[in-house]
Structure 1
């Protein structure tokens, strides 16, 4: 299989061309023939023109790639090695939404032939690949698992906006449904990953490894957020405390903040869901999620309290939120906790403007019911720096003063302007 792919006698497909799938597809396409499949024709048309709909890659990244972009599922029949990289979100009840993954499994299942391989990259709970996806592959293809086709799991480690830790520079975990599958999958990924391959002992181990990477970060950030809640009552700055504590060689450097996106804010719910199914109810992981999910409303309420203490009438007070994406220097708004800040402020009848140099106003309106202002106005009672885009990091206090009233509140969620704001009333987590 590996030699056939390298010799371009066989084709590899990537199903799902988002911020994870597209970089993988293009990297493989520098070594072999690739079919890039996405269910949205509009996205496919953009990629045919060398445009990344996720705004992560440049047009030059498409150069030299032997890839055919398509939204036609029948084209997948030409491939013998399939990589599935679709989203695995949660629903409004914080339960796993496997619909995209199961739908992709049905699509791939219809295209499966004897001897094919299927590798899943989507983040799931341990056991999902073999218990949920494989039966669909068997049903749709009429083939027998591990006899007619083989499966693997290789968790994605793409970090949106990170230009240093890119796909080929990150150690890749691979796993397979048997020894042969493990070796083939390891060889195929080894052809593009420069950092090396780690062979997990089973698919479940690889699934679990992925999910605890983000769960660990979530729990540690939750601790920082809880410390911030405590230190705020003590009237001391959390970042100053962390700076002092960080002088100890083994102190772990995590910071408080709004935990959104489609990794840290989502993955732990997959693990707690599986734990609940097995009769174990997580305490630390669930507790961390409760704390982190409450930080958006908490920031908004602190703004309201401080405006009241200044004697401002809350109904009609003007607040500017700078940043709407889930993290800095990306255009992705999925699961952005800035929306929680906005909604909480609006519940107090505060007049809220939102600005962001990277986000789409149309996407925000569709997802959250609000858009971006065409231009930043003046006389804001409070300015909230919610996302540390590079464009904002170049600003100084004189700019913030120019758009605010004399005794305005400046809220620096991540504490990046701690030493730079001297005249405005300053607050951070």
Structure 2
């Protein structure tokens, strides 16, 4: 086996996961970053990262070479695949990008190469499917000519505290030699904060469990918020009291979107169904969280038709520009035909917003508004003063604040709603 103690690396996919990884590894190894998007490669070469995960300064200093040509990967000895794994309209795993990555790598694989997957999958995908796709395109044998590893990504978009250098990296190799190389590889960028899982399947399952557990806990809070609504009380007042207990888990209600928490549970439920195992709790959590979008729309629909509404926040969570699977976007789409909406978001890309919604992303308020709909609590909005918010509204205007960030304000002559 031609394992390298100091491998040259190809990172496949340069999004929220792949780019930070390629950048950090480039300070220790020879790194080529590959992406199928020519516009993405161009902006990275110009020192810009639209995801805001890597600062312009860090991007300029890194030693990674960025390319759209798979031939530029052919001399690397180790590959890390970080492509998205979304779901289909039927709520089943969509592995098409993962398969495409394997088909891209297959023709350039050489004996002794290692391929590490970071994409979220259900147990068995890396070896049973990816290994087969690589074999078909390379003519090589998995486990004999080339070798696999798995290390689930744990990047939390917009969170610069829990990043590659600070979080524990879970790894698993197809054999002990691969695992040892993965230890050195990932340990170089996080101070050797490594956990070796028992197998690749264990590491795959751990990743989907992490996000599924979070989804279920948020679903509990969302269901509780509906119970509190029926009781005429705020779930946030209830949480303030409950969180004084030492072992209470501090989950909060809200819209659950994005490409991880709102997606990964379906990978587990798909695997469970294939093996005739129940996933009732997982699917119940997903149903509850999906219903929150409709609950939000139903709440706002009490406004008179034609009302002018300022919508604050469109991305899937605060502090990021990512609009993928954003529940805020879905809320806006369901309200567009009823109201005159102006949409605001300091992180979203104007071109993406206009492509999705067909209306411009506004940068300046044009009061007065009949209502303000705060969907995503970016810091720009949470730091607003009471007087600033009220100055945007007509007398007896409405405020819909799903996260309850403006609860401390006095709302005389304003009709305020939160969970």
TM bucket, shorter chain: over 0.9
Deviations 1:254-281 (A, max 9, x none): 1100101111111111111111111224
Q: How does 1:311-326 map to 2 (within 5 A)?
A: 314-326=304-316
Query: Shift of residue 211 of structure 1?
Result: 0.5
Select the residue among 387, 393, 399 that pairs with 1:404: 393
The CA deviation at 1:282 is 1.4
> Could you say which residue in structure 2 is the equivalent of 1:136?
133
Q: 1:147 aligns with which of 111, 120, 144?
A: 144
Report deviation, 1:2.
7.2
Residues 301 and 345 in structure 1, CA contact (< 8 A), matched pair in contact too: no
Deviation at 1:4, TM superposition (A): 4.4
Q: Compute the displacement of 1:252 (Å).
A: 0.8
- Evaluate the alpha carbon distance shift between residue 299 and residue 123 of structure 1 in structure 2; reply closer, same or farther with a 3 A threshold: same
1:286 equivalent in alignment to 2:283: yes
Instruction: For 1:147 and 1:388, locate their aligned partners in 2 and report how far apart those are by CA, in whole Å.
Output: 51
Which residue in 1 is equivalent to 2:417?
A: 427
Instruction: State how 1:169-318 maps to structure 2 within 5 Å.
Output: 169-194=166-191, 196-305=193-302, 307=303, 314-318=304-308
Q: Residues of 2 paired with 1:134 and 1:87: CA distance?
A: 18
Per-residue CA distance 1:286-329 (angstroms, 9 max, x = gap)? 01111111212211211223x3xxxxxx2211221100011111
Q: How far did 1:373 drift?
A: 2.8
Alignment match, 1:338: 328
Aligned-pair distance for 1:374?
4.7
Match of 1:83 among 74, 80, 83: 80
TM superposition outliers: structure 1 runs of 4+ over 4 Å: 1-4
Cα distance in structure 2, aligned partners of 1:68 and 1:205? 33
Cα displacement (A) at 1:345: 2.1
Unaligned stretches of 5+ in structure 2?
A: none
Query: What are the superposed Cα offsets for residues 175-213 of structure 1, whole Å, 9 maximum, x if unpaired?
Result: 011222222222221122226100001111000000010
In 1: Cα distance, 2:241 partner to 2:269 partner: 34
In the superposition, relative to structure 1, how do residues 2 and 403 fare at CA in structure 2: closer, same or farther (>3 Å)?
farther
Deviates more, 1:187-196 or 1:200-209: 187-196
CA contact (8 A) 1:168 1:195 kept: no
Aligned 1:382-401 pairs, distance under 5 A: 382-401=371-390
Provide the aligned C-alpha RMSD in A.
Answer: 1.5
Whole-Å separation in 1 of the counterparts to 2:410 and 2:20: 40
Task: Measure the CA separation in 2 of the matches of 1:245 and 1:122.
Answer: 36
* In 1: Cα distance, 2:59 partner to 2:5 partner: 23
Q: Aligned equivalents of 2:191 and 2:417: distance in 1?
A: 44
Q: d(CA) in 2 for partners of 1:223 and 1:369?
A: 35
Secondary structure (helix, strand or coil) at the match of 2:400 reads strand
Q: CA deviation at 1:381?
A: 1.8
In the other structure, the counterpart of 1:311 is none
Cα distance in 1 between the residues matched to 2:281 and 2:130: 29
What SS class does the counterpart of residue 184 from structure 2 fall into? helix
Whole-angstrom CA distance in 1 between matches of 2:327 and 2:362? 19
Structure 1 residue 395: deviation in Å?
A: 0.8
How many equivalent residue pairs? 417
Q: Distance in 1 between matches of 2:342 and 2:64?
A: 42
